[in-house]
Structure 1
């Protein structure tokens, strides 16, 4: 697993051992960054189910202003820390150790331009996270939420000003993007 492009291009990243986390495949990661490539620079990023931190680190490498990583697994937290250090992004990163929903509550009042959601597949975690993000309204106007899920997972729509921007399919994986439009 490596950083694809940007200031940390080619840097090798660790993945947590075991099956508690599932790193995004290179093909899907490349596809996601093709989708959002013009929506990263200068933005504050939230990597909510960080795992190894590879997605948030890729954003930082591509010019994101900062990234908040949220991870509940202690072994994965250590991997995120090592990956941040290996890429030199300590000054623009913050790791919240704990579950996604407690972290979201603690982030109330902040705004992010890009939110990355890649929870374990098959559960209700993705929809629960989307509902809480909309409820506490932490996505800035024009911001994007990128959701990675199993193709068969059903993603519930959000109420305005949030809307599904686009859905993509990559084999057994689905990528769904939401945006927050300006209120009329």
Structure 2
């Protein structure tokens, strides 16, 4: 697993030794960022259910201004911090929160934080994408893009609590849904 493009291009990322983290493959990440394109430049990015932090780190590598990484597993948070170190990042451009997504979103809302891009890569099969989307309204802007990774069998409606599906892609056993605010 590595950073694909940008200022950290080619940097190897530490991968998990356990089964509770399922990192987004390089191939899927490359396709995802081709679609996101220049929107990442100078964006404030939230990486929910961050796992290794690969999505947020790729965004920072490609020019995002800052990223917040959220994961409830201490081992994942340790992995994110190691990967930040591998990229030479400090706490100025990246922040890590070790807490459940719902609690983190509420904390960020109370802090007045807003994000242009929100990545969600929750554990598969738990319908966490549809459960989390309504919470994101308080930390999003009119132009916010949500990029949600899920299994192809988790059917996504065309609209969710103020979010509309703009695009969907499938890469083997991974599906990516792109949503924007209504």
TM-score (normalised: structure 1):
0.93
> Which residue of 2 is the match for residue 37 of structure 1?
37
Q: Which residue of 2 aligns with 1:127?
A: 130
- The alignment partner of 1:39 has SS state of helix
How far apart are the structure 1 equivalents of 2:142 and 2:42?
A: 15
Q: 2:120 aligns with which of 117, 124, 127?
A: 117
Alpha-carbon separation, structure 2, partners of 1:11 and 1:170: 24
Give per-residue Cα distances to partners, 1:47-96, cap 9 Å, x unaligned.
01110001100000000000000011111111100100110121200000
**Structure 1 match to 2:143:** 142
**Is residue 54 from structure 1 mapped to residue 54 from structure 2 by the alignment?**
yes
TM-score (norm: length of structure 2): 0.94
CA displacement, residues 139-168 of structure 1 (integer Å, 9 cap, x when unaligned): 1121200000000012342244x3111111
Measured after TM superposition, the shift of residue 180 of structure 1 is 2.1
Partners of 1:99 and 1:155 lie apart in 2 by 22
The alpha carbon displacement at 1:130 in A equals 0.9
CA RMSD of aligned residues (A): 1.2
Q: Larger deviation: 125-134 or 34-43?
A: 125-134
Contact 2:130 2:160 in 1 (8 A): no
Number of aligned residue pairs: 178
